[in-house]
Amino acid sequence: MKIPFFRYPHVFEQHREEALAAFLKAADRGAYILQDEVQEFEETVATFTGARHVVGVANGTDGLMLALRAAGVGPGDEVIMASHTYVATAAAVHFIGATPVLVECAADHLMDLDAAAAAITGKTKAIVPTQLNGRTCDMAGVMELAKSRGLLVVEDAAQALGSRFRGQCAGTFGLAGMISLYPAKLLGCLGDGGLVMTNDDGMAKQLRLLRDHGRDAEGEVVAWGVNSRLDTVQAAVLLAKFKHYPDEIARRREIAARYREGLAGLRQMALPPGPDEGDHFDVYQNYEVEAERRDELRAHLAERGVGTIIQWGGKPVHRLSGLGFEAASLPRTEAIFERCFLLPMNTSILADEVDYICDVIRGFYE
């Protein structure tokens, strides 16, 4: 079989006619910037997640930057995050003048709370947990830690729209939470896009000012702002796709269960938790495994037509050159990155393709 890691044409093709109709409806009206579809999409996601407010922005990185700025994080502040995240998480902190402080991830590849607690100093202003791979952190622990130390929580939930911890959606625990709408994400648009969720009325007002040059509802400039608006045509396409989003999540969970069954008992691999384990409802943005002889296994899969990747180019943030983290040592995270990689996980994957991937892996080890 030929199974690429991700079939980008599928983002459009799976709902081609609905997406085209939505695009044309907006384009025919000349409705490009902050028109009705944007507000409707924001309200739709708010209903789905239980967030009081959802604000559409140009991309996830902007969303995190604006959320941190609106929260009052800035020069002189430190922000704690796991090093197992995309560089954008740290960049959002850097470009508002604050300092990212990188800590270990735990066995589930999410932020280690003991490491986060140990990293708190007098300069710490916020914690940014990354809700990685479609799984939400132990947010009870995160919120308890933040409350006990007087810290803000802003979630990087880029990969976790619809993921839940104890029934509550990722992105709705802290002061704000960011979602990415990049094409390869759970709900992807046809370009860049993002959302910021918050239950705080004042925060929502600040976010709407910041994303649109500081203009209020009457068009008056009342504060400094930037240009970071979710395009109306993207919102229109996202609305059309969102009708199918519960099915998207269900399908990903089926694929995860099939991987787990097909790879069960392989002592050489560590798999993600299965669907509905404990307090978590995972939506499987990615299927990140750990494996012995990882590089040999990936080569074996590639030779048999299966595409895989290692997130972030194979490096956690503290191992990216030129960012100033050369002195950082996070041995548990580094050990995970010696073994981790992603198997194909999206709704273009068929059941027999999952079975084939599992057979190839078993053939390699057995």
**pLDDT tens digits along 281-328:** 999 999 999 999 999 999 999 999 999 999 999 999 999 999 999 889
Q: Looking at the structure, do residues 270 and 200 belong to the same domain, yes or no?
A: no
Q: Looking at the structure, do residues 173 and 272 belong to the same domain, yes or no?
A: no
CATH number of 234's domain = 3.40.640.10
% of the chain beyond a pLDDT of 70: 100
Q: Looking at the structure, do residues 102 and 173 belong to the same domain, yes or no?
A: yes
Q: Looking at the structure, do residues 172 and 98 belong to the same domain, yes or no?
A: yes
Across 2-9, average pLDDT: 95
List the single range of 11-15, 190-194, 222-226 with lowest mean pLDDT: 11-15
Over residues 46-93, the pLDDT tens digits come to 999 999 999 999 999 999 999 999 999 999 999 999 999 999 999 999
Tally of domains within the chain:
2
CB 55 within 8 A of CB 43: no
Antiparallel, parallel or unpaired: β 152-156 and 176-180: parallel
Residue 326 confidence (pLDDT): 87
Residue 225 confidence (pLDDT): 97
Q: Looking at the structure, do residues 281 and 140 belong to the same domain, yes or no?
A: no
Place 33 in a pLDDT band, splitting at 50, 70 and 90.
Answer: very high
Residue type, 263: L
Q: Does residue 306 sit within a domain? A: yes
pLDDT averaged over every residue in the chain: 96
CATH number of 286's domain = 3.90.1150.10
Residue ranges of the alpha helices (H) in the chain? 9-13, 16-28, 36-49, 60-70, 87-94, 113-118, 139-149, 201-211, 232-242, 245-262, 294-303, 331-337, 351-365
Antiparallel, parallel or unpaired: β 287-291 and 269-270: antiparallel
Residue 205 confidence (pLDDT): 97
Q: Does residue 62 sit within a domain? A: yes
Q: Looking at the structure, do residues 296 and 349 belong to the same domain, yes or no?
A: yes
Residue 30 confidence (pLDDT): 93
130, pLDDT greater than 90: yes
Q: Does residue 152 sit within a domain? A: yes
Residue 276 confidence (pLDDT): 75
Q: Does residue 4 sit within a domain? A: no
Q: Looking at the structure, do residues 211 and 264 belong to the same domain, yes or no?
A: no
Q: Looking at the structure, do residues 152 and 50 belong to the same domain, yes or no?
A: yes
Over residues 217-251, the pLDDT tens digits come to 999 999 999 999 999 999 999 999 999 999 999 99
Q: Does residue 297 sit within a domain? A: yes
210, pLDDT greater than 90: yes
Residue 332 confidence (pLDDT): 96
Residue 257 confidence (pLDDT): 97
Over residues 354-364, the pLDDT tens digits come to 999 999 999 99
Mark which of 188, 214, 242 sits at the end of a domain. Answer: 242
Per DSSP, the residues of 59-124 read -HHHHHHHHHHHTT--TT-EEEEESSS-HHHHHHHHTTT-EEEEE-B-TTSSBPHHHHHHT--TTE
Q: Does residue 224 sit within a domain? A: yes
Residue 356 confidence (pLDDT): 98
Residue 278 confidence (pLDDT): 84
Over residues 262-289, the pLDDT tens digits come to 999 999 999 999 997 789 999 999 999 9
Mark which of 224, 242, 260 sits at the end of a domain. Answer: 242
Q: Looking at the structure, do residues 238 and 258 belong to the same domain, yes or no?
A: no
Cα 89 to the chain's mean position, in Å? 10
Q: What is the extent of the structural domain holding 95?
A: 9-242
Residues, the chain, total?
A: 366
Residue type, 339: R
% of the chain beyond a pLDDT of 90: 97
Q: Looking at the structure, do residues 28 and 136 belong to the same domain, yes or no?
A: yes
Q: Looking at the structure, do residues 139 and 213 belong to the same domain, yes or no?
A: yes
Q: Looking at the structure, do residues 171 and 262 belong to the same domain, yes or no?
A: no
Q: Does residue 3 sit within a domain? A: no
350, pLDDT greater than 80: yes
Mark which of 193, 221, 242 sits at the end of a domain. Answer: 242
Q: Does residue 102 sit within a domain? A: yes
